[in-house]
Structure formats: structure tokens, C-alpha cells
Amino acid sequence: MTHTTTRQPLTRLHLTRLTLTLGALLGAATLTSAQARTLAEIKASGTLKIGTNAEFKPFTYFEGNTMKGFEYDLGNAIAKQMGVKAEWINQPFDNLLIGLNQNRFDLVISSHGITPERARAVDFSLPHYCSGGVILSRPGGPKTAADLKGKTVSTQVGTTYVDQIKKVTGDRNLRLFPNNAGALQALMSGRVDAMVNEKFYSLEALKLNGKKLQQGETLFQEKLGMAVAKGNKTLLGAVNASLKTVQANGTYAKISRSHFGQDVRCR
Ligand code: ARG
């Protein structure tokens, strides 16, 4: 099990490496997706391997040695619907789509916004929920997109929040962290003025940190999807069919309410 704990912002060297890995990701899509396990192979093995970045409460996270969360429960329900057991593999967020195309897992469930760029490298399921990116700051700090102008903002590397932050405050003011804990720590300790992150992740941070944080406006909305290796049609079909079934039979609503107090499916 890999668990990243770095709390330092990424250097220029990291960023060069990231640009290279994105190129590798797009290249890997065509090179290796032929070896992705088909639905028949997955069923024969009895196990669906799911990759996630489990430091994203309430989606996937660890409590002691136990993985928990909305996407954890939903992934297990989808696997059950397919007649197999889920095996969860924890990885840094920016390794997930690359790992998928290297066939380290069959499916990725880790709150990936469905973007045209990612959709060139992997195939996305129907959205499994809808949400948005919000601003988080210390009391008195920036609350709106306009407030963010010229302010330093932290977030997790490889996420859809990166481009949104660049739009409002520019590359120079962006502070990237390998994981969310580092990005949040930078905000709490005053090293950045704000953080942009997922709406429900931010609510968790607010719950834990009481009066030390405030939530600002929603910067953008997104549809989140599960990903399979490019061209893995049989698996994608089964994942979509299973998602539709659990959404129709009440399982999805029950799981969603238990984590968010509401049903987060896209309307
Ligand atoms: N929704 C964002 C994106 O699509 C962030 C997802 C981060 N997920 C995670 N498990 N850390 O990039």
C-alpha cells in the first residue's frame, strides 16, 4: 500500500516530471490498453481491481487500516452487482490513470472530473455523481473568485482544480501538493491564502477545523466519473449497467445519504 505524506509544495523538477508523465499517459493509452482485462477475464478471476487515492474523505479514505467512503461503498456495490469481489489499491492521485493504462487495476474510482483531455487517455463511465470545486480560506480571507486575484492558492497536483485556480489567480500564485493533507496544512498554517477543493472534502475540513476555516463560493461544477482503460468496452458496459441498477434499486441513494445526508447523483 502506498501512502504519500509529503507536505511540501512541488518544485519545478516535479512539474517537469508531471508534464512528462502526462505525455506518457497519453502514449500509454494506445500502447497498453490491448492488455486490459476484459469483463470475462475479470469474472473468471472473481475480483475487480479498483484503484483509488484514499485520502479524500468522504469519498475514499482510511480509518486505521480500513478503507471507507462513498466511492468505496459504491465501488463495492458495483462489483457485487457484477458478481465479483472488489480489491482496492491505494495510489497517489496523479498515478491513477497511468496505472490504469498499465493494467495495474481494472477500474479507477477516485472522483475524476470527466474532462476532454482525460477522455483522450481513458474511457469514462456515466457520471457517478455531480459536485464542484469550492474556495476554502481562513476567516477574513478570500471568499470569491474575484477575491482570489493575486492571492496564493493551494491544491492537489493533477486535479481539475489546478486549471480553475490558474484562471483566477495565475500560474505564479498556484501552490501544488502531492496530496490534499499537504494543501490543507499550507492553508491552516498561513503559507497560502486559500485552497480550492471538492465541495464535500472541504465540508469535512470545515467540520474538523471549526472556526479556523471558512467556505467561500463554488468556483465551478463538474461531473465525476469512473475510468477504465481506453477501449475496454466490455468492462465499461458492465460498470454502466451496474451503476444504473444500483441507482434504480435504492442502493445508491442509501449509500449517498449515509455519507452526505443527500443524494449526489447528477440530475
Ligand atoms: N475532482 C477533482 C479532479 O477531477 C479532484 C479529485 C481528487 N480525488 C482524490 N481522490 N484525491 O481532478
Together in a domain, 153 and 199 = yes
How many angstroms is it from 110 CA to the middle of ligand 1? Answer: 6
CA distance 73 to 79: 10
CATH number of the domain bearing residue 146: 3.40.190.10
Considering the domain architecture, whether residues 117 and 229 belong to the same structural domain is answered as yes
Residue to mutate (ligand 1; options 111, 180, 184, 220; most atoms within 8 A of CB) = 111
**pLDDT at 16 > cutoff 80:** no
Structural contact between residues 241 and 249, judged by C-beta atoms closer than 8 angstroms: no
What does pTM read for this prediction?
0.89
pLDDT band at 130 (very low <50, low <70, confident <90, very high): very high
Pocket-forming residues, ligand 1, beta carbon under 6 Å: 53, 56, 59, 93, 110-113, 156, 159-160, 180, 198
**Whether 91 and 21 share a structural domain:** yes
Span from the CA of 44 to the centroid of ligand 1 (angstroms): 31
Q: Could you tell me the residue range of the domain that residue 107 belongs to?
A: 12-131+224-260
Give residue-wise pLDDT tens across range 143-164: 999 999 999 999 999 999 999 9
Residue 266 lies in a domain: no
Q: Give me ligand 1 centre to Cα 59, in Å.
A: 10
- Same domain? For 33 and 94 the reply is yes
Q: Using 50, 70 and 90 to split pLDDT, how confident is the model at 4?
A: very low
In DSSP notation, 239-261 reads HHHHHHHHHHSSHHHHHHHHHHS
